[in-house]
């Protein structure tokens, strides 16, 4: 037997889908137009910028960004071609590969971040009352925790 959503649950579910898809599309479109980066590329640069030495093992980067290793390798390859990321062998065993944010990649991120932040504030943070924003954060952390199980 199917446990259908009631009308309120359905309305909220559809609002989530529409709002999140449209917002992610806006972030991606603006980053592409203003900085030549996709949202996925931007997020990889952010993760690398926050890592010690601006570098991460590819396996760890894939896990943190929810990518398959082959998909990450393709994405990093594009960033590498543009001089934003460099792949290098790990010093500890020589078999692993690290992705390192280059100085040019870091400068690109520093230029893109304020524009991305303005979009996040204008179309997400500033339109959601603070108590609802906290509820959104709690809700999405609960979803992420369930997906991790």
Count of beta carbons in the 10 Å neighbourhood of residue 134? 11
More confident residue, 92 or 122: 122
Mean pLDDT computed over 16-25? 97
How high is the mean pLDDT of the chain?
94
The confidence score (pLDDT) of residue 70 equals 83
Cα gap 23→107, rounded to integer Å: 25
Query: Phi and psi of 84, rounded to 5°?
Result: -90, -25
The confidence score (pLDDT) of residue 68 equals 79
The confidence score (pLDDT) of residue 93 equals 63
Cα gap 137→143, rounded to integer Å: 10
The confidence score (pLDDT) of residue 94 equals 64
Q: How far is CA 120 from CA 39, 74, 127, in A?
A: 12, 27, 10
**Token pair of 106 as six digits:** 């870091």
> pLDDT tens digits for 64-108?
888 878 888 999 999 999 999 999 988 766 678 999 999 999 999
């Amino acid at each position: 037997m199917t446990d259908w959503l009631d009308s309120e649950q359905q309305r909220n579910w559809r609002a989530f889908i529409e709002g999140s898809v449209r917002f992610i599309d806006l972030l991606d479109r603006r980053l592409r137009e203003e900085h030549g980066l996709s949202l996925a590329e931007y997020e990889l640069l952010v993760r690398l910028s926050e890592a010690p030495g601006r570098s991460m093992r590819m396996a760890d980067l894939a896990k943190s960004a929810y990518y398959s290793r082959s998909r990450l390798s393709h994405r990093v390859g594009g960033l590498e071609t543009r001089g934003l990321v460099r792949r290098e062998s790990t010093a500890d065993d020589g078999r692993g590969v690290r992705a390192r944010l280059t100085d040019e990649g870091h400068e690109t991120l520093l230029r893109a971040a304020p524009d991305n932040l303005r979009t996040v504030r204008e179309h997400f943070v500033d339109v959601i009352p603070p108590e609802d924003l906290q509820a959104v954060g709690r809700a999405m952390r609960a979803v992420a925790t369930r997906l991790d199980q």
